[in-house]
Amino acid sequence: MSLMARLRKNGGLGQILAMLESSTPDRQKHLLRSLQHEDPSLAALLRTKVLNVERVARWPQSVLRQIVLTLDDATCRGIASALQEAVDPQLQQRWFEALDPFRRPKIEANAHAPELIEAARFQLFARIRDLERNGEIHLAEFDPGAQLDELVRSNSSSRVA
């Protein structure tokens, strides 16, 4: 099914955003390029909404701590591993600082886990969207561009794997 056909379905915009957030960075770029040809303004909107680990790692420490508390160790290790490749080397340190003192040494010692990166990204982004949907975090306060506005929220009925 083409991206535009998916978009026309009920829940399409939310499904496309979920598909982007559950894709590898390379696949994400490919999907956005395809959408750019079909609908440039929609592609631009989705680029502002889609999450990535570097963007999340720049959020306030209090928010990162709240998110990390909901993640298992494998997911935390996968995100730490993904941040090893970040343009800003301090982002991985910010991630470690969000961990509680009991988990941090174990996550830091095993942070090189490239096999966990893709699953960790999906878990992280899904958890953030759940926390936002449940009102436990408010993206409007620190990253308004990532917020699911009414257009996306009204179209978002299910996540795509």
Q: Is residue 150 part of a domain?
A: yes
Looking at the structure, tell me whether residues 124 and 85 fall in a common domain.
Answer: yes
Q: What pLDDT, on the 0 to 100 scale, is given for residue 10?
A: 61
Q: Is residue 58 part of a domain?
A: yes
Q: What is the pLDDT along the chain (161 residues), one digit of tens a residue?
A: 565 665 656 667 888 888 899 888 899 999 999 989 988 988 998 999 999 999 999 999 999 999 999 999 999 999 999 999 888 989 999 999 999 999 999 999 988 888 999 999 999 999 999 999 999 999 999 999 998 875 555 444 444 43
CA distance 18 to 105: 32
The domain of 23 spans 3-51+146-155
Q: DSSP class of residue 24?
A: -
pTM of the model: 0.84
Q: What pLDDT, on the 0 to 100 scale, is given for residue 99?
A: 96
Looking at the structure, tell me whether residues 150 and 108 fall in a common domain.
Answer: no
Q: What pLDDT, on the 0 to 100 scale, is given for residue 3?
A: 58
Q: Is residue 132 part of a domain?
A: yes
| CA distances in angstroms from 75 to 4, 78, 93, 152, listed in the order given | 32, 5, 16, 26
Looking at the structure, tell me whether residues 47 and 69 fall in a common domain.
Answer: no
Domains identified in the chain, total number: 2
Contact assessment for residue 35 and residue 45, using Cβ atoms and an 8 Å cutoff: no
Q: Is residue 161 part of a domain?
A: no
Contact assessment for residue 57 and residue 91, using Cβ atoms and an 8 Å cutoff: yes
Q: Where are the alpha helices (DSSP H) in 69-116?
A: 73-83, 90-98, 104-109
